[in-house]
Amino acid sequence: MTIRNVRDHGQRYRPRMACLKKVENVVLEMQDPKTGVKSQTQRLVITTIPHAITGEDIVAWIANRFKTDAAEARAMGTMMVAFGYIYPLQDHKRLILKPDTSLYRFQTPYFWPAQQWLVEDTDYAIYLAKRNIRKKGMLELYEQEQYNNLYKWMNHKWDFIVMQAKEQYRAGKERKKPDRVVFDCQERAYWVVHRPPPGTVSAMDYGHDRMVDPNMEEVKVCIMFIQQCIMRPRVKSSVSIGALIKYTTTYKEHDPFLHTCLPSSPWITDDVTYWTLNMPNVETPTKMRVERWTFSFGELLMDPRGRADFRLFLKKEFSGENLAFWEACEDLKWGAAETMKEKAQQIYKTFLARGAPRWINIDGKTMDITVKGLAHPHRYVLDAAQTHIYMLMKKDSYGRYLKSPVFKETQKKAYQYILCMNCVPQLCRFTAPVPHLAVYTGICEAQSTASPGLMTLPNSAACPSPISVAIDSTPASERRFDGNGGPSSSHFPSIAEASVSEEEKQPPAPKSRMALSLSRLLRRGCNAPSVFASLSPKCAVASGGGKVQPLGVEPLAQPQPRRIANFFQIKVDIPPECRIYPIDSEDEEDDSADTARGGVKEIICPWETVTKQDGAG
């Protein structure tokens, strides 16, 4: 028996066959006695059979009906023949439309291809058996193969198949001769379409079956979800890449892996000073850290030290409740579940209720939503209000904060690393904070006198100067001071050694090389008030021939980084839109704080032209 194939092969499962209905309509149009295709009689030896049509007539009709050219019409005609709506009377195995006088005939609707049912093997077996009866075993090779296959496959029904074949054969014989001929042609054509001889391309090859009924509920939901995913607004890759570039340019110098980490990278030198200096609630932050606060409001808030600074500022402005509310919301969001209800109530009483002690100013709609949500408090019930307050702070207070004395004070006091003559990276503070830091040459002593609160670091031989890490091009052999290089750095040893070799004479070549590599170092960063110290004792010795001069105090005291052109000068090219001087009053912020600051620094060696920086430089 057949396995009961209850699956419906209709539109849902064989969607690509939907064109059949359209072809049928065209075929029906072709039948019209007045406007249809011209028909003629086919003359056979013994009889005539009406309704034969020539290929060229078909092409002409199609071209006229659809207003296309002959080639297109021919293609369409071939498609109709391939589907089996028209069959050729000569050369019946090739299902193409020849635009000449070759004859075709319309297929009877019983033998039309249908989308909703598959052509059954049982029917094919009956047909082959019939053909076998008629031709007494003289079937074509592929037909014989199919017959044998079907005999094996449908062995249990074979009696039925033979019986039916015989009956159909006899029933067919009842008809008149011409009709028998027609019927045989039709049936033969039908099976050429649906069981094509090997090596031919079949138009019935429609691709994969759909396994799922797209009208089922679960499937509909899936389809809807996927459609929504596709329709989600997407960011152009140029925009997202632009944002990525902006981010990396801004944060490049702040990354301890990608950039020099002063005083030294703890991951390399095992000296944890960097971490100590950047502890969450350290009293004095580093310059880099303060600079990060200017990048975005989020940065400021996420840094505990920054938040504390901001809180201080707000206190001075008597608008501290915003930040307090925001923090309370954060606490609610991230806090423990059991205290949530009380926390929410507390927040409401403190910030949101009428006449609350620290009432925050949010708009009516948000207040409405929040109060309604507080009836059934959950973690995110205050989300709307929190966002509102966040945006308020960002748009209003943040800007004012960056211009405030509080911030400027913090900035001023912030620690910054420079490298000095005795080669230990020193932390300095500058009276006039300089965002685009560049050059400083000189000795620590000078700086230590100039700025209070200097931290001197232990001169650890094990710690190579950060610049040494950066300068990797100078081969060790040419440097005057190698010796106990840093533990991990094969290059430049600690500049501590330099003090030893002060008096040594150095050939200029390594000098310039170092100068160049320094310049390379400096050129890498276009941002940065980061520390650079130049300095090579070698050069100092070479040019000065004497002791290294102390760095004057002046550059530190002045707002502009005017260099004392002792040895190296590092010229800073400041892009026009960036105002760095004077650092205190007006500003470099707003959004330009976030953009990459272009600044090219190049080192000018003293034996080259020494140019002084202009004021606004």
Residues 137-196, interacting with another protein (CB under 8 A):
137, 147-148, 151, 155-176, 178-186
- Among 45, 231, 336, 337, the residue binding another protein under the rule CB under 8 A is 45
Cβ 130 to another protein shortest distance, Å: 9
111 near another protein, rule: CB under 8 A? yes
Cβ 24 to another protein shortest distance, Å: 8
Q: Which is nearer to another protein, 5 or 585 (CB)?
A: 5
90 near another protein, rule: CB under 8 A? yes
Cβ 94 to another protein shortest distance, Å: 13
Q: How many residues bind another protein (CB under 8 A)?
A: 77
Q: Which stretch binds another protein (CB under 8 A): 100-108, 284-292, 354-362, 470-478?
A: 100-108
Tokens 């060790």, residue located: 476
- Among 46, 141, 231, 337, the residue binding another protein under the rule CB under 8 A is 46
**Taking the CA atoms of the chain, what radius of gyration do you get in angstroms?**
45
Cβ 29 to another protein shortest distance, Å: 8
Name the DSSP letter for residue 542: I
Cβ 92 to another protein shortest distance, Å: 8
Q: Which is nearer to another protein, 135 or 365 (CB)?
A: 135
Partners of 415 in beta bridges:
286
Whose CA is closest to 21, among 134, 92, 113? 113
52 near another protein, rule: CB under 8 A? yes
User: By the 8 A CB rule, do 538 and 506 touch?
Assistant: yes
Range 282-312 burial, b when 16+ CB lie within 10 A, else e: eebbbbbbbbbbbbbbebbbebebbbebbeb
Q: Which is nearer to another protein, 167 or 255 (CB)?
A: 167
Q: Which is nearer to another protein, 120 or 573 (CB)?
A: 120
Give me 208's structure tokens.
């994969």
Pairwise CA distance, residues 88 & 109, whole Å: 16
Cβ 98 to another protein shortest distance, Å: 13
Q: Which is nearer to another protein, 152 or 232 (CB)?
A: 152
Cβ 41 to another protein shortest distance, Å: 9
Whose CA is closest to 84, among 168, 143, 20, 131? 20
Q: Nearest 5°: CA angle at 173, between 167 and 177?
A: 160
110 near another protein, rule: CB under 8 A? yes
Q: Nearest 5°: CA angle at 188, between 186 and 191?
A: 110
Cβ 114 to another protein shortest distance, Å: 7
- Among 26, 60, 89, 565, the residue binding another protein under the rule CB under 8 A is 89
Pairwise CA distance, residues 365 & 565, whole Å: 63
User: By the 8 A CB rule, do 527 and 252 touch?
Assistant: yes
Residue-wise DSSP of 431-461: SS--SS-----S-HHHHHHHSSS-BPPP--T
Q: Which is nearer to another protein, 190 or 297 (CB)?
A: 190
Residues 5-44, interacting with another protein (CB under 8 A):
24, 27-28, 31-33, 39, 42-44
Residues 506-545, interacting with another protein (CB under 8 A):
none
Q: Which is nearer to another protein, 174 or 218 (CB)?
A: 174
User: By the 8 A CB rule, do 90 and 199 touch?
Assistant: no
How far from 137 is each of 131, 144, 147, 158, 421, CA to CA, in Å?
8, 9, 11, 17, 108
Q: Which is nearer to another protein, 43 or 341 (CB)?
A: 43
Cβ 231 to another protein shortest distance, Å: 39
